[in-house]
A = this chain, B = another copy of it.
Amino acid sequence: MYIILVYDISLENEQGARVLNRIFKICKRYLTHIQNSVFEGELTPVLMEKLKIELKEFIRKNIDSVIIFEIPQNKKLKKHFWGKIDEKTSNFF
């Protein structure tokens, strides 16, 4: 399945920066970083579950937010870029 992952990690207390750094590093191991707090990529259900377990270790339930959009199998997803384009972003039509 193709997924888009976006996260919003609270930096209100001193833990925030450390959590943000860990979340970023974990996501980079599974997905392509395409913008500030946005990742995309193809994951098997097993990898998705592993990503979930790793992230949940750091996500603080009441203040951090991770949203995953799961794009149905082999469905075409059109992407539009307005402004600078990050070369790493894969273009799939």
| Residues of chain B lying within 8 A (CB to CB) of residue A76 | 72
Q: How far is the CB of A44 from chain B (nearest CB, A)?
A: 15
Q: How far is the CB of A58 from chain B (nearest CB, A)?
A: 10
List residues of A (38-92) whose CB comes within 8 Å of B's CBs. Answer: 38, 52, 55-56, 59-72, 75-86, 89
Chain A, interface residues (CB within 8 Å), range? 35 or more
CB–CB B79/A67 < 8 A: yes
A31 at the interface (CB under 8 A from B): no
Q: Name A62's closest neighbour in chain B (CB-CB).
A: B84
User: 5 more A-B contacts (CB under 8 A) besides A66-B81, A72-B75?
Assistant: A6-B35, A7-B35, A35-B65, A65-B81, A65-B84
